[in-house]
Amino acid sequence: MGSETIILFGEVLADIFDDRKVFGGAPFNVARHLQAFGLHPLLISRIGNDELGCELLAQIKDIGMDDCGIQLDDLHPTGQVIVHMEERGHRFEILPEQAYDYIQADISHRIISALCPKLIYFGTLAQRNAVSAHALVSLLHSNKAPRLLDINLRKPWYDTRILKHSLMHANLVKINQEELDVLAVLFRLPGINEVQKAAALIKHFGLDSMLVTCGEEGAWQLDIENKVINVAGVVSSQPLVDTVGAGDGFASVYLLGHLRRWPVSLTLSRANTFAAALCEIRGAIPDSPDFYKPFIADWKI
């Protein structure tokens, strides 16, 4: 399994909490989980030539993750997001003009051309700047591996153009219920319920399937043949700490299940269980690799 490469394109940054900083960004979080599960994630991103960037690069090396796709920027800082904890969850303040906005296409192309990735993962945030958006286009045009688009709508860093382009280049789409409603309005999709809206989106953009996460209520997937597979949410016996990174954990297990050819219902169930466990810790990534051991043992990874 270690030889199976998954390319993850996009932001790498530090989530700044009141009491500490945690390195993150959806592609980085997913990559870290995949690394712990024994795969070969290759993160294509860019960090600043600053103290935060040095700490981030050291962490990447410490966990044994391949760092050849991390570019160094002398002009722009390593990405930061200020996380505001509120009564009903968390709110992100995403800073502009960060290093991950300037991923260079020529550098990433030289790295990727030597690989045969099994999957490509990308999102929408890193496309807010034309430089990184061009780098993503170059990547997607140069490789025909299946693509999972993880939609994370963060105001004001998305628009209809970014979403349309992303959906046109995706095979699989991960989205939550609220985001599906937003896309239904933006693209004037027909349908009176979520399944009908998802079906319209699949048809409009020629997608293979759509994965819709519903938090504590579970998740469901709709394929091109309008087959719906639902799984219930997970009831945890532990108190909720925060939900930061739960969706990224879900995505990582979904990618793992896709590569392992697990049945969809089993994949969704395991992804739910893993995401729920992440909600019992602070931040998106566990402090110890021991966190993964029960999952690795139970899933026989």
What's the chain's average pLDDT? 92
- Number of structural domains (the chain) is 1
Q: Which long-range contacts (CB under 8 A, 24 or more apart) does 285-294 make?
A: 285/22, 285/23, 285/24, 285/29, 285/32, 285/33, 285/245, 289/36, 292/33, 292/36, 292/37
For residues 246-268, average pLDDT? 96
Residue 156: asked if its preceding bond is cis (omega within 30°), the reply is yes
pTM here is: 0.94
Q: In terms of Cα–Cα distance, which of 123, 71, 59 is closest to 94?
A: 123
Summarize pLDDT for 154-213 with one digit per residue, the tens: 889 999 999 999 999 999 999 999 999 999 999 999 999 999 999 999 999 999 999 999
Distance CA 31, CA 37 (A): 10
Q: Which domain range does residue 158 map to?
A: 5-299
CATH of the domain at 186: 3.40.1190.20
Q: Please determine, for residue 1, whether its predicted confidence score (pLDDT) is greater than 50.
A: no
